Chain A
């Protein structure tokens, strides 16, 4: 029976970085109405940045260095997000969805090539923090401390975003834009500046999520594609622009995947889509969508 505790913890670990990825995607989509296909590349930038820092500096204090890597990944991805918004996303606000898809897909390719130019095409391993943190006993089984650490980081980041969105003026204005863009404009909210901020926050969260998987996963080209696809499932399932939706959606997807692999291994990936379909049949706007 203890093994089920591990299955559930695994689901929570998977949900942790999925939550951060989908929250970023959801903020960008909810506030700005931009479907950002380059979100996975921002995840990848965070992953490579963290791997690079851990690989270069982690000989003596891997955990401390990893925390620095997390912050660097968050910062670099956020900065890249700001640059993207100002340079190529901004002219797309009043254009049709096809333009957004084309331009963000172009950004995806551009960032992938940038990563290739900077770090090369091979995989970067930076598993020291995972190895150094050790394990604890769950009955007769072992479980890595690192996974609890990742869950904790996601919780802290989630609380941080919640505080920004609910307690700061900028956050409240972002929510206002997300609820009714025209009314927010009429009230004199400076949408352009807040768009940049939203994109930066979303990108930083993707970068943080990318960095979080690095101790267990190599940084390699295309690393952001899978999280992007699954994050889309979470956003659709949880509802656009909703922090609560991203949280609950991530947990549902994480646990479904973890337990699905145990019970229905043949349909590992389709199972996630199946769950999304079932929920959307009953709530087309998603669990917490408006």
Chain B
């Protein structure tokens, strides 16, 4: 997509609001300058900002996933409020439960936008919920930032090249599942180039189907002779995986891909340990980072774990990236647990919003409209505890990805990623170019 880059200095000059430059970095394209006279008359409201956060607060995904994510929102909101709020406005945050399915979430989002008139919704772990709710952003004129859901289809169209952004007011402040599954495939190619048989066990809905599609496509590109011996589709929230585990053992697969998450991932792992699956095959979890901490020392070593970006309590190293040190230490002190990737995603969502508001305000001279915030967010780069996050012109986050092996190391009550065998795949290796479907991009690789 052709875009015109505008430097920060020139832009501020032309808008006549140089005094309001608030350090917005990475300004890019597409931002239309409003007339200075109109901008200068704007004021910053004194009322608190209404922010709705939505995560799973009940059910199997709550403990390992939704509640830590929600806790991170609270921690970040407190930090922002204690340091002056967003342009002086305090955040008034309210948490909502994501349970109840897509219909319930559509109703909730309608209520939040139309009745409660929230400034922004930061939410959604489930890809199904994201797909159902994000179109409401433009339909109802509400700013929605999807913080964790992973399906790549959310922001992509059916054919390449496609026009971006898909939603004017809808964003995802994290990368999609492409980075996890391409990262996994690259990792497998690096450490197990001779692998012959792979299998998959993935939840039977958008997230699981899409994760497997990308992993399988990437694997067949990278290791052409690889054979898929079994693909299993338990339903989301299944509680009994015994038959699946036996089927995987019987398949003779060497590496088993899985995008199981939340309580499903914990339950599957516990049952698989009891049935000896890890003595027969190696799991490759596309977003497995939270679960060693959930399962504890019983979690098997040598499993391949992807971190949904570079979201890890030990990476980037605390001595090299103080923001990760602050985030991990504060989170651990407050909740007695290390932050997991949903926590990092929550940080990304709320700070993306903050940075976008500040960037837009620096250009408009007062509190920006939702459209202006949205335009400011596209092309934004911010520092996060995990490194640098960039929001693409497609309104989707772009990140590097970290993959490693689980290993028991003294000093930790659960296996961590083996520090000697971590691999970080940079953003350009795992994210399709803007406007090109991930699947098409993978198929275009020349290996």
Contacts and interface: CB of A to CB of B under 8 A. Distances in A.
A118 B38 CA distance: 56
B63 interface: yes
B100 to A, nearest CB: 11
Contacts of B242: 10, 13-14, 147, 216, 258
A262 B275 contact: no
Contacts of B237: 222
A191 B360 CA distance: 75
A258 B59 contact: no
B239 A258 contact: no
B233 A266 contact: yes
A123 B270 CA distance: 14
Interface residues of B, number: 39
- Interface size, A (range): 35 or more
Interface stretch (B110-118, B166-174, B245-253, B393-401): B245-253
Interface in B33-90: 57-60, 62-63, 67
B276 interface: yes
Interface stretch (A24-32, A61-69, A138-146, A162-170): A138-146
A258 B243 contact: yes
B62 A122 contact: yes
Contact of B279 (A130, A142, A221, A269): A142
Contact of B249 (A122, A127, A141, A217): A141
Given A130-B274, A131-B298, A220 B243 contact: no
Interface in A157-192: none
Contact of B239 (A146, A147, A226, A265): A226
B300 interface: no
A122 B67 contact: yes
Contact of B230 (A144, A221, A226, A265): A265
Contacts of A213: 239-240
A14 B239 CA distance: 11
B109 interface: no
Contacts of A268: 204, 232-235
Contacts of B280: 141
B293 interface: no
B239 A142 contact: no
A11 interface: yes
Contacts of B58: 116, 121-122, 221
A20 interface: no
Interface string A254-290: 0001100110011011000000000000000000000
Contacts of B276: 135, 141-142
Given A7-B247, A123-B266, A261-B232, 8 more contacts: A11-B243, A14-B240, A122-B62, A122-B67, A135-B276, A141-B249, A218-B267, A220-B263
A-B pairs, 7 with minimum CB distance? A121-B58, A142-B276, A217-B239, A3-B250, A122-B63, A261-B243, A258-B243
Interface of A: 3, 6-7, 10-11, 13-14, 116, 121-123, 125, 127, 130-131, 135, 141-144, 146-147, 213, 216-218, 220-223, 226, 257-258, 261-262, 265-266, 268-269
Interface of B: 57-60, 62-63, 67, 97, 99, 204, 230-235, 237-240, 242-244, 246-247, 249-250, 263, 266-267, 270-271, 273-276, 279-280, 298
29 contacts: A13-B242, A14-B240, A14-B243, A122-B63, A123-B63, A125-B270, A127-B270, A130-B274, A131-B274, A141-B249, A141-B276, A142-B276, A143-B275, A216-B267, A216-B271, A218-B60, A218-B266, A221-B59, A223-B239, A257-B243, A258-B243, A261-B243, A261-B247, A262-B246, A265-B233, A265-B247, A268-B232, A268-B234, A268-B235
